[in-house]
C-alpha cells in the first residue's frame, strides 16, 4: 500500500480527518463550504456555460493510426529512463516480457490505459467526465466544474492521476498531476517519476464519430522537454462495458507473468 502524503497522514493521526472523506479534505480557512462533490445536486445545477460538445458514448482506440502507441518519436531520455527503455526493447526482440506490471494485475494507468484494445465508456455531466475502460474496469474522472487541483500535500497519488479540465473554444484541455510512479510505466518499460505531468487537448471530429487527443507529457527526471503524441478513437455504438477483474490466481497461468519469459 502506498503511504499517505505527510500532511494528510498527520491530520488523520490527530483525528482532524478521522471521519471526513478525502474528497472534502480541502476546507477554506474562512470556514466556507468545502468543494462540492461532482454529483451533488447543487453543483450539477449551478449556472455555467453549456459545454461545446458531449463526450458520452463508448469509444474504441483506432489501431489503424500510426500513433496507436506512445512513440516513436521518443524524447531524449535521461540515463535512468534510457537504461530501462533499452532493456525493454531488448526483451521484446527476444520475445520476452519486460516488467509486465499489467500482467501482474497492477493498473495500466494513464496514459497507457488509453492504448488498450478494449472499449472505454465515457459519461459527461456538467461537472465531471467519467471514464470506465473494459480493460480491468479502469476508472478515471475529469473534473470540469471549475475546481483547482488539490493541495499537493493532501492529494492521494493514483495511477490515473488527478485530472482537471476546462474549455478553450471547442477543445477540452485536461491537466493531470499526482501520479503514482510505483509499477507505472509507459509502454515498453519507460518509467515515470513523481514529477510526471500530462496535458491533453481533446476534440470531437467527424460529426462526433471520432475522438482526437493530443498529449503533451513532461517528466524532467525521465526525459528532456516535452513528449508529444497524437491519438484517435472511434465511437462504437454496439458495445458495452462489462465487469472485468484481474485475478492473481488466473494470472499464474500466463507465461508472460510467471515464467522465465518475464524479466522482473
**CA-based torsion, 250, 256, 257, 261: positive or negative:** positive
Going by their DSSP bridges, the two strands 185-186 and 190-191 should be labelled as antiparallel
pLDDT confidence of residue 76:
97
Q: How many CB atoms lie within 10 A of CB 203?
A: 15
pLDDT confidence of residue 213:
95
3-state secondary structure of 79: helix
* Cα–Cα distance for residue pair 74/191, rounded to 1 Å: 13
Domains in the chain: boundaries:
57-263
User: What angle (nearest 5°) sits at the alpha carbon of residue 218, between those of residues 214 and 220?
Assistant: 165
* Cα–Cα distance for residue pair 90/97, rounded to 1 Å: 10
pLDDT confidence of residue 199:
98
Contacts of 53 (CB under 8 A, 6+ apart): 170, 204, 208
Contacts of 237 (CB under 8 A, 6+ apart): 57, 58
Name residues of the chain where pLDDT drops below 50. Answer: 1-2, 6-27
pLDDT confidence of residue 66:
61
- CATH class name, domain 57-263: mainly beta
For the record, the C-alpha cell of 16 comes out as 482532524
Amino acid at each position: 500500500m502506498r503511504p499517505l502524503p505527510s500532511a494528510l497522514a498527520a491530520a488523520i493521526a490527530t483525528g482532524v480527518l478521522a471521519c471526513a472523506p478525502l474528497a472534502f479534505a480541502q476546507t477554506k480557512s474562512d470556514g466556507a463550504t468545502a468543494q462540492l462533490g461532482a454529483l451533488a445536486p447543487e453543483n450539477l445545477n449551478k449556472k455555467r456555460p453549456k459545454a461545446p460538445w458531449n463526450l458520452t458514448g463508448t469509444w474504441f482506440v483506432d489501431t489503424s493510426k500510426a500513433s496507436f502507441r506512445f512513440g516513436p518519436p521518443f524524447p531524449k531520455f535521461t540515463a535512468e529512463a534510457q537504461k530501462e527503455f533499452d532493456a525493454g526493447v531488448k526483451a521484446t526482440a527476444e520475445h520476452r516480457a519486460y516488467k509486465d506490471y499489467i500482467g501482474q494485475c497492477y493498473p495500466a494507468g494513464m496514459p497507457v490505459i488509453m492504448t488498450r484494445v478494449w472499449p472505454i465508456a465515457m459519461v459527461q455531466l456538467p461537472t465531471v467526465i467519467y471514464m470506465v475502460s473494459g480493460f480491468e474496469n479502469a476508472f478515471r474522472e475529469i473534473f470540469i466544474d471549475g475546481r483547482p487541483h488539490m493541495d499537493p500535500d493532501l492529494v492521494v497519488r493514483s495511477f490515473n492521476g488527478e485530472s482537471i479540465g476546462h474549455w478553450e473554444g471547442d477543445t477540452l484541455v485536461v491537466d493531470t498531476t499526482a501520479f503514482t510512479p510505483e509499477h507505472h510505466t509507459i509502454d515498453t518499460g519507460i518509467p515515470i517519476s513523481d514529477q510526471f505531468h500530462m496535458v491533453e487537448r481533446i476534440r470531437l471530429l467527424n460529426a462526433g464519430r471520432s475522438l482526437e487527443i493530443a498529449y503533451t507529457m513532461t517528466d524532467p527526471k525521465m526525459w528532456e522537454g516535452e513528449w508529444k503524441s497524437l491519438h484517435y478513437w472511434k465511437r462504437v455504438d454496439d458495445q458495452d462495458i462489462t465487469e472485468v477483474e484481474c485475478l492473481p490466481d488466473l494470472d499464474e497461468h500466463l507465461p508472460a507473468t510467471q515464467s522465465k519469459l518475464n524479466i522482473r
